[in-house]
A and B are shown apart, each in its own frame.
Chain A
């Protein structure tokens, strides 16, 4: 502007903005998923690659088609890719690719877009996809294979649940991920790395994974003591199955979890308690997915009853 006659841009305050954006946040989640992705590919090789590629590609395609059919603008952010990845991470590596595609499309179309799209869904789309697949194809969804050689075997949690007599893997094997299970849930180490990154970047609140894992640890310690199982028992439950993946990547989903701090703790405690209940008393060896979905269901209720006291809502001094 050089003369007083040119008009400047006038906008409402504020005139500065943090570098945060939805696309940046989604990119960070993708980065955080990379260690688990690499661990999954390392342990389960080509079959895992096929399932992951199918899930991601079909989720993204479903997203684009949904937006077009619903005459909404293309958002250009990566949430559909994350949904596809997360679904692939929590299904068996040898699942037929067409089933994976079906689950992925179900996640995006039914669980996300029929509820109103980004920000509107009640349930975690990836977990809905998993629940749909488990209900539709119970055999394929519970056929597990050993890492590296792909020989059919049971997961550590089902060995424990069904007392098949097979030897349980050691804690260090569980921690590194050299056990059977869903594609990217086996390596605790890889998931913890990604979770730490999300915490560091400020995208997730420590309250959810903290209360979720804390609850499981405490309740399983008690259960272990009652069973006389020993010191390793609660750690086994922390590292086995989808608990860490769920606690860091699914129970922390912004859209489907509480917005209040106290609400997040309640959410985490609820998830943890349900996991323990399902693992110890339920019909399934694993319960992370259902526990999170059930808590998704009560999220609006939790938000409503944990609303913060507004500044100045105090007893009058007068």
Chain B
């Protein structure tokens, strides 16, 4: 059978065998958790607690009035000992609520199972999802309730769950599909109800056929949910490329998936959402892959939000070799961090440790017009031409050549034999184009 996919993209060494066979284990619950007030795209939260307050597990401790935002919750019970600025895996400094764990694991009163989740209306579902602080778990951390809010004149006919996990090393979604398939299918059902659509798709890459089998079994009852097997290729999990592979629809330039009647969510988001809808449990934990050549025992962990990277690294037996890089997320789009003294946040899918070995740099050459960047660009752009324009600050020309359509998947940089950091030049062009748009005319 020919597997569905998109045009372009690259084949990567997955290194997933390091952890794909390892069952998700519960990470040690730390003595202190560090919960940043901003773990999502949108308005940061303001604290609802002060130093000295007793909090319970699942208690809302931060919220915002902004529509595009998501509240945060205590991931342990205990005492708020400080609210202070800390480095965030995203690179910025963010105020964090620090909770000393009393080890009582007491649930907040607000955490109550919904007696009849099947009877909830779309509005009720969205309210629960908002209250539970559910955001996209794939990495972009977009607040889910916003995604499901009805938009005048737009009809959603398909919800796609993204179980592609095309970044090397990461295996949390793979394990989740093997271990929590029922929750994923249930979560997809709630999303479909929240947006009022009849068709659900769970997309899985062909390198996870065991997960395909498990998901097919879990979804056997649900007639309107299908499992779609996609070709193994990066960035297959990118939203627009995924929609194209699953439905043949192209999201128009500058448009959202909604423009073609589709909503995409990560499989992990669906399972978190099912827990929130059925059990009333907010987003206080997530699965994290700790892997890479620089860690002694790679593993998949079930982690409380606010657990420090360093604690997970300790549980994995510590570093091996000369560690040079820690990547929050995958090696293609993840961000490197300066230290391991950082909390796991809602968007932390993996912690990848690289040693000096992986960190070799080759010399940059002039572009030799090999066109490999053009061949692999999943947005059908000409990265090398955009770089040429960006270098001479021809922002308007770059905009005409659709620089804004770059999804920053970095495939072009990966293949460039001249080692040109194309993506950085294109990001610069995008920033310049945005700035020019923001400036008042005249």
Contact = CB atoms under 8 A, between A and B. Distances in A.
Contacts of B153: 318
A13 B334 contact: yes
Contacts of B384: 259
B366 A118 contact: yes
Interface stretch (B30-38, B194-202, B325-333): B325-333
Nearest to A314: B250
A302 B374 CA distance: 15
B196 to A, nearest CB: 18
Nearest to B334: A13
A310 B402 contact: yes
B265 interface: no
Contact of A117 (B250, B366, B382): B366
Given A22-B417, A311-B240, A311-B405, A15 B382 contact: no
A165 interface: no
Contacts of B402: 310, 313
B414 A119 contact: no
A24 interface: yes
Contact of A2 (B260, B319, B369): B319
Contacts of A11: 325, 336
Given A119-B368, A310-B381, A8 B332 contact: no
Interface residues of A, number: 47
B335 interface: yes
A77 interface: yes
Contacts of B67: none
A309 interface: yes
B380 A310 contact: yes
A313 B379 CA distance: 10
Contacts of B254: 312
B362 interface: yes
Given A7-B338, A8-B325, A14 B413 contact: yes
A21 B250 contact: no
B414 A17 contact: yes
B378 interface: yes
A16 B168 contact: yes
A289 to B, nearest CB: 20
A8 B324 contact: yes
A254 B415 contact: no
B405 A8 contact: no
Nearest to B10: A18
A8 B338 contact: yes
Interface string A18-61: 10111011000000000000000000000000000000000000
B64 interface: no
Contact of B379 (A120, A205, A254, A310): A310
A255 B368 contact: yes
A312 B339 contact: no
Contacts, number: 161
B319 A13 contact: no
B343 to A, nearest CB: 13
Most B CB contacts (10 A, CB to CB) among A9, A203, A255 go to A9
Chain B interface helix/strand/loop/mixed:
loop
Interface string A300-313: 00000001111111
B118 interface: no
B226 interface: no
A78 B123 CA distance: 66
A39 B52 CA distance: 85
Interface string B306-330: 0000100000000100011111000
Most B CB contacts (10 A, CB to CB) among A14, A77, A254 go to A14
A268 to B, nearest CB: 15
Contacts of B375: 261
Interface in A275-297: none
B380 A308 contact: yes
B338 A13 contact: no
Contact of A119 (B332, B358, B367, B423): B367
A8 B259 CA distance: 42
Most A CB contacts (10 A, CB to CB) among B240, B251, B362 go to B362
A10 B371 CA distance: 28
B102 interface: no
Contact of A254 (B325, B333, B370): B370
B339 A4 contact: yes
A6 B259 CA distance: 47
Interface in B217-269: 240, 244, 249-255, 259-261
Contact of A259 (B331, B341, B363, B369): B369
25 contacts: A8-B325, A8-B326, A8-B337, A10-B337, A13-B334, A15-B325, A15-B327, A15-B331, A16-B168, A16-B331, A22-B368, A76-B363, A77-B365, A117-B366, A118-B368, A259-B371, A308-B374, A310-B253, A310-B379, A311-B405, A312-B250, A312-B252, A312-B255, A313-B252, A317-B259
Closest 7 CB pairs of A and B: A259-B371, A14-B410, A119-B366, A312-B253, A15-B331, A20-B417, A310-B402
Given A10-B336, A308-B374, 15 more contacts: A8-B338, A10-B338, A13-B336, A14-B413, A15-B331, A15-B352, A16-B332, A119-B365, A119-B368, A254-B369, A260-B371, A311-B253, A311-B380, A314-B250, A317-B261
